[in-house]
Structure 1
Amino acid sequence: MSYPLLVSPLYIALCGLLILVLAAMVVRYRLKHRVGVGAGGHPELERVIRVHGNATEYVPISLLLLVALEVTGGADWLIHLFGCSLFVARLLHVWGLGSSAGPSKPRQLGILINWLMMLGCSVLILWRLVGL
């Protein structure tokens, strides 16, 4: 069996597992606090919901950019670099927001790395496609 994408599926799988773990955390806290919808006034549940929500907001487009870079002929090492940076960024964000609702260095670093990953992939894809 042949796969046209050789590198990005690794990061798709890792991020899929991360989002699944975050979703399970939301369910666990909902059961703990007996809340079906929303956060029910529980700051801890609200924070866990936002950690999951933020991942579901940023990870899909980040992975699409990673796949697009691979499909347009990005080097394997570059796909690994961006894929690792995405996964580390998401872990930092989880750590930072998961431990405090206020500003935190891991959270700020995580989103910065994620944004730089998105910017880098976007620019390289455009450069490869239209010669920017």
Structure 2
Amino acid sequence: MTPPIIAAVAGAILIIMQAIFMLLVGMHRSRHRVNLGTGDDPALERKIRRHGNLAENAALFVVVLALAEMTVVPNDVVGIIAIIFILGRIFHAVAMSTVAGSHGAEKTRAFLIMRAVGAFSTFGSFIALGGYLLAGIF
């Protein structure tokens, strides 16, 4: 059995993103002297959610991606799903960097669309991985 290289690359990219988001939250907290919670700061709330949303989804994705790569899912499919997930997480993060993306407060809908693309990419990646694994195992 070969090691899950695609999952390792995806994991490396996602953990670097996670570290950047963590740093941005910490810097914002330090600059604005908010130790816990959001301090009613909408910009900090967006940064916390951007960081948290990635944390909620990336770890499980990388674990299941590695299982898929090591078992029944073809590597080209694993690679495509990984790319879709990572691009979706980038779209989501960019959208959550703006008030328009998080609350729809600006006139443009582009950031809301980016956020939706990010969410649907994550959902689709999860369903595709789960489906391929179940179909291949049974």
Unaligned runs of 5+ in 1: none
Identity %: 21
Give the conservation status (yes or no) of the 8 Å contact 2:72–2:137.
no
Distance 1:51 1:12 in 2: 17
Name the counterpart of 1:61.
60
2:132 to 111, 124, 128: 124
Name the counterpart of 1:19.
18
Per-residue CA distance 1:7-39 (angstroms, 9 max, x = gap)? 210001000101011101101110111111111
Name the counterpart of 1:102.
103
Name the counterpart of 2:108.
none
* Aligned AA (1:120): A
* Aligned AA (1:5): P
Pair 1:113-2:121 in alignment? yes
Tell me how large the CA RMSD over aligned residues is. Answer: 1.4
Q: Alpha-carbon deviation of 1:107?
A: 0.6
Runs of 4+ residues over 6 Å off in structure 1:
none
Distance 1:41 1:99 in 2: 16
The aligned length equals 129
Per-residue CA distance 1:28-78 (angstroms, 9 max, x = gap)? 110111111111111110110000011101111111221111111322211
Pair 1:6-2:5 in alignment? yes
Unaligned runs of 5+ in 2: 105-111
Distance 1:92 1:75 in 2: 26
Distance 2:31 2:43 in 1: 11
